[in-house]
Amino acid sequence: MIIVKKTDKIKGNIYAPPSKSYTHRAVICASLSDGISEIKNPLNSADCLSSVHGARMLGSYITTEDENKWIVEGNNNSPKTPDNIIDIGNSGTTLRILTGISSQIPKGYTILTGDESIRKRPMQPLLDALKQLGIEAFSSKMDGTAPIIVKSGEIKNNIVRIRGDMSSQFITSLMMTLPFAKEDSKIILTTTLKSAPYLDITIDVLSKFGITVKPLEEENEKGFFIEGSQKYKPCNYTVEGDYSSASYLVAAGVLLNSELTINNLFKDSKQGDKEIINIVKEMGADIEVKNDKVIIKGPHKLKGIDVDVKNIPDLVPTIAVLGCFAEGKTTIYNGEHVRLKECDRLSACAKELTKMGAKITEKPDGLVIEDVGKLKGAELETYHDHRLVMAFTIAGMMAEGKTIIKEEGAVKISFPNFVDVMKSIGANITLC
């Protein structure tokens, strides 16, 4: 657990951790290529190492001894039949992407499973989509959740329809699988697309490894076009900093007496979560943004705003904490899909922050947070969710008294050295 006490000042020149989203996609693309790739500045987190493990099980050779550079020898666009079950731990991204990719093994079956949380995450929309393509993939429990069993099979159809409002990871999986089809393919969205920036990331990474995905140009159809018989090519790829993880540093900077420089945050990033910069600016923070860094001198007096989280679900815990210290009312909306993450983050934020004295009303698609002036320390559950651990730590640094945050180990999913980084800038926290 983490013991957090009120922190007077933070100061430092620090680096945002590498992007989890980019690392996942880059190492899996490299694992499919017909040569050797270097992944520079990868995120050495449990989630990303799950993708490394899965890629190895499908026939690639990956060395990760150098944490700053992974060497990936691809399987030459020919995933191999794994000789055991693939356990992907807590990584939903790995599960979704490899469910599609593993259909392209030459024979037999791939079985993918994970921890207790993963075995509750919905998979049925992706399973249904693969069925449309002639791929047999199903839940071993027949309830649309892992363990997932995928049978080797050729992609037989060239049009797949899938909802876009549940998880962009389903669509990412299709984008990364359909280049194996002999014919050109279309992904047609049957609902409004949410978390669209994650698909921009997928398309961007795929392009670096020789795969082209284009938006559909038809007026009456929204979706994507993928040419058939494409081949993954090797690439030396550098992973940029992660705005999702940096959001906790940004929040700490604007709330506390601070002098912070956060490096490795690129101004032209395709990450949707770079929106955290615009959110804190709209709330009243005056921060400086350069090409590859953010400079913050706090504290800043914040005001409540309305935030549409359709495309930024991972920022919800951060925004909820910011809202607790903003004048007036902060409304988070359009976030039904936030309930389908590592836990129901809407419910968890409302329940746990209320323990600290926050005034939060939970809505079907979001939260309404009203100004209470200050929070008090409390003992908080985090439901094995890395983003809750980090967001609640920031709340604890602002609260009166002592805050106990359980299950600190969850941060290894996306920000393994979070506690060390926070302590290095002066956070009054202790790991127990």
Instruction: For 369-424, write each residue's pLDDT tens digit.
Output: 999 989 999 999 999 999 999 999 999 999 999 999 999 999 999 999 999 999 99
Catalytic residue among 47, 242, 314, 385: 314
pLDDT at 164: 93
pLDDT (0 to 100) of residue 217: 77
pLDDT tens for each residue of 167-181: 999 999 999 999 999
What is the structure's pLDDT at 345? 97
Beta carbons within 8 Å of 262's beta carbon, 6+ residues apart: 14, 15, 16, 246, 249, 250, 253, 293, 294, 295, 296
What local confidence, expressed as pLDDT, does residue 131 receive? 97
Residue ranges in the chain modelled with pLDDT below 70: none
Strands (E), 69-212: 69-73, 86-87, 109-113, 137-139, 148-151, 159-162, 185-189
- Residue 191: count other Cβ atoms within 10 Å of its Cβ: 11
Q: Among candidates 65, 157, 145, 61, which has minimal Cα distance to 103?
A: 157
Q: Which domains does the chain have, with CATH numbers?
A: 2-17+241-431 (3.65.10.10), 20-226 (3.65.10.10)
The pTM for the full model equals 0.92
Assess whether 273 carries a catalytic annotation: no
